Amino acid sequence: MLRNQIRIIGGQWRRHQLTFPDGDGLRPTSDRVKETLFNWLGQDLHGKHCLDMFCGSGALSFEAASRFAARVLGFELNQRAYRQLLDNAKKLGASQIEFRQGDVFRQLPALREKFDVIFADPPFAANLAADVLEIAKQVLKPNGYLYLESGKLPELSDEWEIFRQGKAGQVHYTLLKLATASEA
């Protein structure tokens, strides 16, 4: 695979390759980690509403849409990356994906929308894990999942429980649920 390309590994667009621009902190989720994540979530996301808080290359957004998610909403701060996400969605005919350019923390609270699956792979240097955990509590559906990728394991309050976790190189990845949802 060429530099600045991602490959969709499952679903209707399996084996499609998409390009993305260079960007500070832009580090797509590896195929190995994506495979593990979607094994945890189940291969089919029919009817699920997904949020990708930091799209970057769009690896997780396109993977979820390829696996038949009903809606994928993604945010990207970088203008060049955002334009490429739009181009890639058009190329695939991915009408269930909506990308928005800008800061997810500013835009998300106004939406009043809840999600079954939230993907959060923020730039590691920005140390946003605590902010992600806080906003995710407000927009995650009961029994929904938060996927968090980080350079180190985040500090979790009792509100969160670890459903699954793993490590690949320097990347820690964790699938979380709200503890109250699993007790209901």
- Grouping H, G, I as helix, E, B as strand and the rest as coil, residue 155 is coil
Look at residue 1 and tell me if it is in a domain.
Answer: no
DSSP assignment of 87-138 equals HHHHHHT-TTEEEEES-HHHHGGGT---EEEEEE---GGG--HHHHHHHHHH
The string of pLDDT tens digits covering residues 139-170 is 999 999 999 998 887 788 889 999 999 998 88
Spatial distance between the Cα atoms of 183 and 3, rounded to a whole number of angstroms: 44
The string of pLDDT tens digits covering residues 101-116 is 999 999 998 988 999 9
Spatial distance between the Cα atoms of 129 and 148, rounded to a whole number of angstroms: 8
Look at residue 3 and tell me if it is in a domain.
Answer: no
Look at residue 158 and tell me if it is in a domain.
Answer: yes
Spatial distance between the Cα atoms of 31 and 70, rounded to a whole number of angstroms: 23
Look at residue 113 and tell me if it is in a domain.
Answer: yes
Look at residue 4 and tell me if it is in a domain.
Answer: no
Which phi and psi (to 5°) does residue 77 adopt?
-80, -40
Residue 184 pLDDT exceeds 50: no
CATH code where residue 106 lies:
3.40.50.150
Count of domains observed in the chain: 1
Tell me the residue range of the domain where 83 lies: 31-183
Look at residue 8 and tell me if it is in a domain.
Answer: no
Q: Cα torsion at 46, 26, 89, 30 (round to 10°)?
A: -50
Spatial distance between the Cα atoms of 141 and 43, rounded to a whole number of angstroms: 19
Look at residue 12 and tell me if it is in a domain.
Answer: no
Contact by Cβ (8 Å): 133, 118? no
In this structure, what DSSP letter does residue 20 have?
Answer: -
Query: Could you tell me the pLDDT band of residue 5, with boundaries at 50, 70 and 90?
Result: confident
Look at residue 135 and tell me if it is in a domain.
Answer: yes
Question: Residue type at 158?
Answer: D
Residue 178 pLDDT exceeds 60: yes
Question: Residue type at 100?
Answer: R
Contact by Cβ (8 Å): 154, 148? yes
